[in-house]
Each structure stands twice: as structure tokens, then as C-alpha cells.
A and B are shown apart, each in its own frame.
Chain A
Amino acid sequence: MSERVKVAFYWCASCGGCEEAVVDLAEKILDVINLVDIVFWPVAMDFKLEDVERMPDNSITVSFINGGIRLSEHEKVVKLLRQKSKLVVAFGACSSWGGIPGLANLYTREEILERAYLTTPTTHNPDKIIPGSKTEVEIDNTKIEVPVFLASLKPLDEVIDVDYYIPGCPPTPNVTWKALETLLSGNLPSKGSVLGASDRSLCDECPLNKTKPENVLIKEFKRIVNFNPEPNKCLLVQGLPCLGPVTRGGCGALCVNANMPCTGCFGPLSDVRDYGGKAISYLASILDLDNEEDIKRELSKIIDATGLVYKYYLPKSALKGKVGGSKS
């Protein structure tokens, strides 16, 4: 790229972990600032939305957007950034597939609001006030606008066209750095590519992979709640539902290094259409039992199949969330 690269960062329904992950580039952040102009980063810099509105279309080289789309105003801002940017990159699990807040799609908006504002044990709400049930509230004769809490959480590419994805919850600094190098090289991969991470499964880079046989077969599933895995031995072989085999590598197996199973925050490999379906398929197929009763018993030890296989992925999945009663 000949002209100076202009970069924007924006966050939607996120936890701030993606921003911290960028700060965790530590001394490399100075290299980034030398290489690019940051034209918009609400968390860190004083550029306003109007400044972006005034920019010519396509004048931002690349916008990195993290967080899922949960409020009406998120939709508004990302559409503006799309218009002003040559490239849009979904940064992190939430933006790519919905992330953990995407589990909210197992419930309706009304159920979520009811729990938050009416039925938690410490809520004191005699007038049964529910914020977000109206877009405008009148107080002291003044109408106050409350942004709309949308019916579901959406990944970024359901609202705007997305060029690239950087996976992870959050993307680790090495992945972010590699992705930046790719973008700055000018040698851009094909649209829709995942940047910075590996093209192989997590097992490929896992230090315990040498203890994993070609065909994993187990007789029972374990729960970390009452099982202490022995160190230095493949967690799957020990019966813990580790999602390494169906998850993209790139993080360096951080969780496994802490003796904990992979929960899939780097998402699927490129040839997978639905991460959850793939994960179900894998986990069930390693269970080496033939009798229906035995199979049922062991699979019942996975007490939350949906939370296990769709922890970061539900809004991107084939059905996007709970479908609700078809007749209602």
C-alpha cells in the first residue's frame, strides 16, 4: 500500500477484552502507530462520529470492529463504517459469530428483560418498570430516548459486508500482529479469509498432541467439576470434552496449557458450515460404546450440549438461536 494506511477501531456489544488485547501488543503498539494513522477509536481517542461522517467514502483503509450487534445504534455505526472503509475486519469471536453474549439467543428479548428487571432476587421494582421496552421515556416532561434492545444478537456479517475475520475471545496478541502484517503487506488473501490464525486445528499446535492417538476412543465423559485431569496427557483421551479437534489453532493452546479443555473460542476451520454440528459429530463419534442405554447414559454427562458446542457461535449457526414455537 503506497499511501499511508488509515485504521479505525470500533466496539459494539463487547466486553472490552478485544481493546485490552490490542493494548497487550505492548511495545509493538508503538510499531503499529508508526505504520498507520488511527482515525477513529472511541475507547482511546477523541474522534467523533461526525468526523467519520465527514470522511469521503472508502477513505479508511481498514476498520476493525469487535462485539456483536445488540442495540439499534450498533447497526447505525457499523453501516457508516462500512461506507467509509475499503476493508472491514470482524475482530474477535463476538463480531465473527456472536461470542458468549450470543448465548442470549436461547431466550427472547422479553425473557431477558423480565429476568434482569423483574425477577432477580434483589430487584426492587414495585412499578414493574422495564427499560428498553419503549424507545422513548417521558420524565419531567422531557422525552428521553432509550436505544432499542434488538430481538437477537447478530454477528457483524449479518448487518454489513465483511472482508476478513480475526478469531479468538479475545484474539491473542500474536494473532492480531500476524493479521496486521498480512493486511499491511498489500498481498491480500481472498475475501472472507480468516487472518492471523492457523489453518489447522488446535490439536496441531497442542503440546499434548503427541499423547493423542490417531483414533481417540473413550468409554466415558468426564466433567471438570469432579475430575482432575492428569497433566501432560491429552484431555480428550482422559474423557474431558475438549474442542481442540474441531477448533482453529493459533492461540498456542493457552487453555490446555492451564490443564483446561479448549472451549472453541477460535471457532471453526474453513471447511465447516456449522461449528456446533461439527463439534457434536466429533464428540459423539469418539464415544466407544455400542449399546443404546450405555450411549445415553454417557452422553447425559454432557449436561449442557448447546452451551458446550455453541458457546461462541450460536448467532452464526444455521438456526441462529432458539426458533420459538412455530405456531405462535
Chain B
Amino acid sequence: MFEPKIVVFACNWCTYAAVDLAGTSRISYPPNVRVIRVMCSGRVDPQFVLEAFKNGADGVIVAGCHPPVDCHYTNGNIKALRRFTLFRRLLNDLGIEQERFRLEWISASEADKWVKVVSEMVEDVRKLGPFKPKLGVKEV
């Protein structure tokens, strides 16, 4: 069975803590994720997501603190919201299925939400199959 690789950019203050909590609470979740800790979802540049896809990710999650007020840096999550709202349109034009990219708000206490998001994502992407970062036609 195809095992998708999911890259997660998780904010240090909320989502990463939730990932930790899931671990310390011994809740199992699919092992398909590669979590990259960033200080804030507002630090995640769309270029990072493109690089992840280019380097073999089948799906990408950007996750941070709940808007409007949870952000440790006041409004980093709002910045992420703005960026990825526009970025999603780019992904759509480039033919990337919407299930392959998610922007999620997961607080430090929401280990269960983390598990749910990851499980859904793995299932959705598994149905889509591997992401092939190349043009969809063959050379003669």
C-alpha cells in the first residue's frame, strides 16, 4: 500500500506542543508525517512548501495557533492565513489537488485534533496517490 510522505511545518508554541502532547499521551497516529518545528506559522514562506513538494512530499501541512488571539507573536498566524489563502490559488492553478495542502490551527492542548488532521490527511493523500513533481505529459 502506498504510504504518503507528509511534511508538517508546526509552530513551536501551539501545534508542536500538541504533537508532543500526543506523544507523551501515547496516542498513536500515522507515522507518515515529518514534522519541522518553526517558531511561528507566520515564518513559513510559500517557498518552503514548494520546496517540500519538489523534494518528494506527497502532502504538506502548515499549522499554527488559533486566530485571532493565540499567536505568541500577536499576528503571525494571521500572516500565514493571508499568505496561504493566496498560495492555495497558485497550487490550484498548478494542478495540485487541494487535499495535498492544509492550513490548520491546532493549540497546545489539542492532541486529538492533531491526530485527526494527520489521519485524515494521510487517508486523503493515499487515495490520490504519489505526487509527481513533473509535467503531466510524456516526451516523444
- Residues of chain A touching chain B, judged by Cβ–Cβ distance below 8 Å, are 105-106, 108-110, 135, 148, 150-152, 272-274, 276-278, 280-281, 283-285, 287, 289-290, 292, 295-296, 299, 302, 305-306, 309-310, 317-328
- Residues of chain B touching chain A, judged by Cβ–Cβ distance below 8 Å, are 45-47, 49-51, 53-54, 67-68, 75, 78-79, 81-83, 85-87, 89-90, 93-97, 128-140
Q: Are B94 and A287 in contact (CB under 8 A)?
A: no
Q: How far is the CA of A305 from the CA of B88 in the complex (A)?
A: 10
Q: Are B46 and A319 in contact (CB under 8 A)?
A: no
> In the assembled complex, which residues on chain A have CB atoms less than 8 Å from the CB atom of B54?
318-319
Q: Given A273-B47, A305-B93, check contact A284 B82 (CB 8 Å).
A: yes
Q: When the two chains form the complex, which single residue of B81, B131, B135 contacts A108, counting CB atoms closer than 8 Å?
A: B135
Q: Are B137 and A306 in contact (CB under 8 A)?
A: no
Q: Are A150 and B139 in contact (CB under 8 A)?
A: yes
Q: Given A278-B45, A295-B81, A305-B93, check contact A324 B135 (CB 8 Å).
A: yes
Q: Are A326 and B135 in contact (CB under 8 A)?
A: no
Q: How far is the CA of A309 from the CA of B101 in the complex (A)?
A: 20
> In the assembled complex, which residues on chain B have CB atoms less than 8 Å from the CB atom of A327?
128-129
Q: When the two chains form the complex, which single residue of A276, A287, A309 contacts B82, counting CB atoms closer than 8 Å?
A: A287
Q: How far is the CA of A261 from the CA of B21 in the complex (A)?
A: 48
Q: Are A148 and B136 in contact (CB under 8 A)?
A: no
Count, A-B residue pairs, CB within 8 A: 134
> In the assembled complex, which residues on chain A have CB atoms less than 8 Å from the CB atom of B46?
274, 276-278, 280-281
Q: How far is the CA of A139 from the CA of B49 in the complex (A)?
A: 51
What are 29 A-B residue pairs whose CB atoms fall within 8 Å in the complex? A108-B136, A151-B135, A151-B139, A274-B46, A276-B46, A277-B49, A278-B46, A284-B85, A284-B86, A284-B87, A285-B79, A290-B67, A290-B78, A295-B85, A296-B85, A302-B86, A306-B93, A317-B50, A318-B51, A318-B53, A319-B94, A320-B133, A322-B95, A322-B135, A323-B94, A323-B95, A323-B136, A326-B97, A326-B130
Chain A residue at minimum C-beta to C-beta distance from B83 = A284
> In the assembled complex, which residues on chain B have CB atoms less than 8 Å from the CB atom of A306?
89-90, 93-94
Q: Are A290 and B75 in contact (CB under 8 A)?
A: yes
> In the assembled complex, which residues on chain B have CB atoms less than 8 Å from the CB atom of A290?
67-68, 75, 78
Q: Given A108-B137, A273-B51, check contact A323 B131 (CB 8 Å).
A: yes
Q: Are A320 and B95 in contact (CB under 8 A)?
A: no
Q: How far is the CA of A103 from the CA of B94 in the complex (A)?
A: 11
Q: Given A299-B82, A319-B53, check contact A324 B90 (CB 8 Å).
A: no
New A-B contacts (16) at CB < 8 Å, excluding given A105-B135, A323-B136: A135-B140, A151-B139, A272-B47, A278-B45, A278-B46, A280-B87, A280-B90, A318-B47, A318-B133, A319-B53, A319-B96, A321-B135, A323-B135, A326-B128, A326-B132, A327-B128
Q: When the two chains form the complex, which single residue of A106, A278, A324 contacts B137, counting CB atoms closer than 8 Å?
A: A324
> In the assembled complex, which residues on chain B have CB atoms less than 8 Å from the CB atom of A318?
47, 50-51, 53-54, 133
Q: Are B129 and A305 in contact (CB under 8 A)?
A: no
Q: How far is the CA of A287 from the CA of B53 in the complex (A)?
A: 26
Q: Are A326 and B131 in contact (CB under 8 A)?
A: yes
Q: How far is the CA of A154 from the CA of B138 in the complex (A)?
A: 14
Q: How far is the CA of A295 from the CA of B138 in the complex (A)?
A: 39
Q: How far is the CA of A152 from the CA of B95 in the complex (A)?
A: 15
Closest chain B CB from A283 CB (angstroms)? 7
Closest chain B CB from A315 CB (angstroms)? 10
Closest chain A CB from B32 CB (angstroms)? 16
